[in-house]
Amino acid sequence: MTVLEGIVLGVLQGLTEFLPVSSSGHLALAEAFFDVESPGVTFEVFVHLGTAVAVVCFFWRRVASIVASVVRFLLRREHDGDDARLGLHLILGTVPAALVGYFLAERVEVAFGNPVLVSVLLIVTGVILWSTRRLAPGARARETWRDALAIGAAQAFAVLPGISRSGATISVGLALGLKRAQAAEFAFLLSVPIILGATAASLGDARAAGVSFGPAIVAGTVAAFAAAIPAIALLLRVVKAGTFSRFAYYCWTVGIIGLVVSIVRS
């Protein structure tokens, strides 16, 4: 892989990871229809790491406060307010996706090789996004532990290629009655633990396999980070404006094209 290819793929990953259009779905369809070879697990691990770092940097004050509050709670058993509650809820919300990743990883990988399924799931993502158009603005600024589990379950569902992580988690948050900004913030923050966990696991496998890290990987990681920052800002504005459902048209278009191409080529 060249440095230029690494940058292009990194930008695509950074944009589609947080816009509700399913980065995994796009990659799966590209590999199936255009003979685009996956750049390898190591590259994918590092570009995902770049997007996780982007979330931490975008919400750095919030993240620092949450981590400090959770540490104080664990060490002193002192609950010092909203940040400690939010941190514990993020941990709880990560559990469903972690369990799916641990027990069903092989079955999920099989789904990546089924372009018909991926196309159908992109259409499903469109339906999920479209369903938010009639939701009244939420009034709750604080999520409960039940909300955390429900949004975490949505993130677990989004391990399937074609289901958008941000689309599913934000939609569930809105449906539960959370304020738009709160639903989006929780969804973004929830992505960090699971991405970092998957990165750590995959990086260990890559080191065991003796994979080297070249300039293309570095360039792709930086590009993913740089592209993810404006993508986060854009989606936050879209959610707050109540126009989140408009991404449904894009998901439906790509999903239908994917189905047509699959039928023609079968």
Q: List, for residues 178-194, the tens digit of each pLDDT value.
A: 999 999 999 999 999 98
The pLDDT tens digits of the residues spanning 152-172 come to 999 999 999 999 999 999 999
Q: How confident is the model at residue 108 (pLDDT cuts 50, 70, 90)?
A: confident
Give per-residue pLDDT as tens, 50-59.
998 999 999 9
Where residue 208 falls among pLDDT bands split at 50, 70, 90? low
pLDDT, position 57: 94
Is residue 120 over pLDDT 90? yes
The torsion region of residue 96 among left (phi > 0), alpha (psi -120 to 50) and beta comes to alpha
Instruction: Tell me the three state secondary structure of residue 137.
Output: coil
Instruction: State the average pLDDT for the chain.
Output: 88
Residue 115: the pLDDT is: 92
- 47: Cβ–Cβ under 8 A, 6 or more apart, which residues? 9, 10, 13, 14, 220, 221, 223, 224
Give the dihedral of Cα atoms 127, 187, 93, 171; nearest 10 deg: -20
220 pLDDT above the threshold of 70:
yes
What phi-psi label fits residue 177: left (phi over 0), alpha (psi between -120 and 50 degrees) or beta? left
* Cα–Cα distance measured from residue 25 to residue 31, given in angstroms and rounded to the nearest whole number: 10
Alpha-carbon distances, residue 184 vs 187, 216, 239 (angstroms): 5, 32, 7
Provide the pLDDT for residue 98. Answer: 92
Q: Is the pLDDT of residue 37 over 70?
A: no
pLDDT of residue 31 exceeding 70, the answer is yes
